[in-house]
Amino acid sequence: VQRFDIGVIAGDGIGPEVVGQGLAVLRAVAQGAGIEVTTTDYDLGAKRWHRTGEALPEGTLDELRRHDAILLGAIGDPSVPSGVLERQLLLTIRFAFDHYVNLRPARLFPGVRSPLDVARVAPEGIDFVVVREGTEGPYTGNGGALRVGTPAELATEVSVNTRYGVERVVRDAFARAQARPRKHLTLVHKHNVLSYAGHLWRRTVEEVGAEFPDVTTAYQHVDAATIFLATDPGRFDVIVTDNLFGDIITDLAAAVVGGIGLAASGNINPDGTAPSMFEPVHGSAPDIAGQGKADPTATILSVALMLDHLGRPDLAAAVEEAVAADLAERADSVRSTEQIGADIAARLR
C-alpha cells in the first residue's frame, strides 16, 4: 500500500481548526484510494515560543525533513513581536527546505462571489496560477539598521537575486505554463526602476523561453499587474514573479477569486531534496480563533496541491471537485469549520 507520512504544524489561531478539516479530507480521500496516512504533530508557534523562547528548536528541522510533506495551518499571534515567528519559523522552513516555487492558484469557482463586477471584467472566468519565487528577493533578511531610535537612523533592506535562483523558478513556471491549455507566461517585475534585478529576471525569461517555444510570454510591471488583476484577470494564465511581488499580487489574486478563505498555496521543492509544505494563504486570524468560524476551504485546497505534488493528481482533482461542488451550493449558508470539512469529506467517500 501507498503511504503518506505528513508532518503537521497546526500553529496559531485558527490554524488547528482548519488543519483538522484539511486532515479529515485527506483521510477521506486516502481511505477511498487505499492509501495509509500517518501524521506527526509539531507543537510550533506562538505558545511554544512563549514557553521556550525558541521558534524552531534545534533538531525539529531534521525531524520535519523526514516526512513526505508538511501541512501548515497558520503562524502568528499579536503577543509575539512582528517578524519573530515569520523569520524564525515560517521563512526558516521555506529557506532551509529550498521551497523555491511558491505555488498559488487563483481560480474563480462557480457560485463564488468576487468583489469584482465579474460579468463585465471577467466574462470568460478567472483561472491562473502564480509561481512566486520563495528563497530570494527582499525575503533573505539581508539589510540592517544604524543609529536606531535616533534622528539619524538608517535602515536598509536588500533584495538578493541570483541567476541560479531566478533560472530554476522561471524554468518551473515555463513547464507549468506548457502543461496548461493556454500556454501563456507573464513575468511580473518592475524592471524600469529595479533595473539590476529586473534585467536579470527579464533576460532569464527570454533565455529559458527558448526551451519552451510553444509558450507565449508577456511582461507586466507589478503596478500595472495590479490594475489588470482588478480589470481583466482573465488574461492571466501563469505568472512568474519575485518573492515580494508574489506576496502582494497573490493576496490581491485571492481577493479577486473570492477571498483568502479559499486561497491555497504550496511551498514546493521541485527537486525533492526536502519535503514541500502546503498552507492556506490566510493568517492565524486570532480574532475568530476557537469559534468554529474559520473557513477550512483554503487548507483543503492546499491538501489538493499536496496530493498533486505527492504524485496523485487524480486525488487532487477529486478534492478540487468536491470543493467545487460544495462551493456551488454554498450561497449564503453559514456552517461551522467542522461542518464544511465534514461536508466536503463526505463527498469523497
Ligand X SMILES: CC(C)[C@H](C(=O)O)[C@@H](O)C(=O)O
Report the candidate in 1, 3, 19, 5 with the shortest Cα–Cα distance to residue 282.
19
Q: Which of 223, 232, 271, 314 is catalytic?
A: 223
Question: Which of 61-69, 148-156, 172-180, 329-337 is the region at the interface with a copy of itself (rule: CB under 8 A)?
Answer: 148-156
Told to judge if 164 belongs to the known catalytic residues of this protein, a careful annotator would answer: no
27 appears as a binding residue in the annotation: no
CA distances from 205 to 180, 200, 210, 243, 310 (A): 18, 9, 9, 16, 28
260 appears as a binding residue in the annotation: no
Please list, in sequence order, all residues whose beta carbon lies within 8 angstroms of the beta carbon of residue 82, skipping any fewer than 6 positions away: none
Q: Which of 12, 127, 190, 308 is catalytic?
A: 190
The site string for ligand X over 304-333 (x = CB under 6 A, - otherwise) reads ------------------------------
30 appears as a binding residue in the annotation: no
Sheet holding 127-133, edge to edge: 36-41, 3-11, 69-74, 276-280, 264-268, 101-107, 127-133, 238-241, 184-189, 216-221
Please list, in sequence order, all residues whose beta carbon lies within 8 angstroms of the beta carbon of residue 208, skipping any fewer than 6 positions away: 167, 170, 171, 174
Q: Which of 127, 247, 308, 326 is catalytic?
A: 247
183 appears as a binding residue in the annotation: no
User: In the numeric block, which cell numbers belong to residue 122?
Assistant: 471577467
Report the candidate in 240, 234, 285, 239 with the shortest Cα–Cα distance to residue 257.
234
Site for ligand X in 234-273 (CB under 6 A): 247
Is 39 an interacting residue with respect to a copy of itself (CB under 8 A)? no
Helix H or strand E segment including 316? helix 313-328
Question: Which of 17-25, 111-119, 286-294, 311-319 is the region at the interface with a copy of itself (rule: CB under 8 A)?
Answer: 111-119
Residue 262, CA atoms < 13 Å, CB-side half-sphere? 24
Site for ligand X in 45-84 (CB under 6 A): none
The site string for a copy of itself over 177-196 (x = CB under 8 A, - otherwise) reads -------------xxxxxxx
Separation between Cα atoms, residue 146 and residue 154, nearest integer Å: 5
Q: How far is the CB of 258 from a copy of itself (least distance, A)?
A: 10
CA angle 16, 95, 45 (to 5 degrees): 25
Told to judge if 183 belongs to the known catalytic residues of this protein, a careful annotator would answer: no
| Interface pick for ligand X out of 146, 155, 193, 227 (rule CB under 6 A) | 193
User: Sign of torsion, CA 169 64 301 121?
Assistant: negative
**Residue 82's binding partner out of a copy of itself, ligand X, none, with CB under 5 to 8 Å set by partner kind:** a copy of itself
Q: Which of 5, 183, 219, 251 is catalytic?
A: 251
Is 192 an interacting residue with respect to ligand X (CB under 6 A)? yes
Told to judge if 343 belongs to the known catalytic residues of this protein, a careful annotator would answer: no
Q: How far is the CB of 295 from a copy of itself (least distance, A)?
A: 15
User: In the numeric block, which cell numbers belong to residue 104?
Assistant: 498559488
- With contacts defined by CB under 8 A, how many residues of the chain interact with a copy of itself? 70
Answer yes or no: are the C-beta atoms of 246 and 104 closer than 8 Å: yes
Is 79 an interacting residue with respect to a copy of itself (CB under 8 A)? no
Told to judge if 326 belongs to the known catalytic residues of this protein, a careful annotator would answer: no
Catalog residues that contact a copy of itself under the rule CB under 8 A: 76, 82-83, 86-87, 91, 114-118, 120-121, 138-139, 142-145, 148-164, 167, 190-200, 202-203, 222-224, 226-227, 229-231, 244, 247-252, 254-256, 259-260
Catalog residues that contact ligand X under the rule CB under 6 A: 86, 90, 192-193, 223, 247, 281
Active site residues: 139, 190, 223, 247, 251
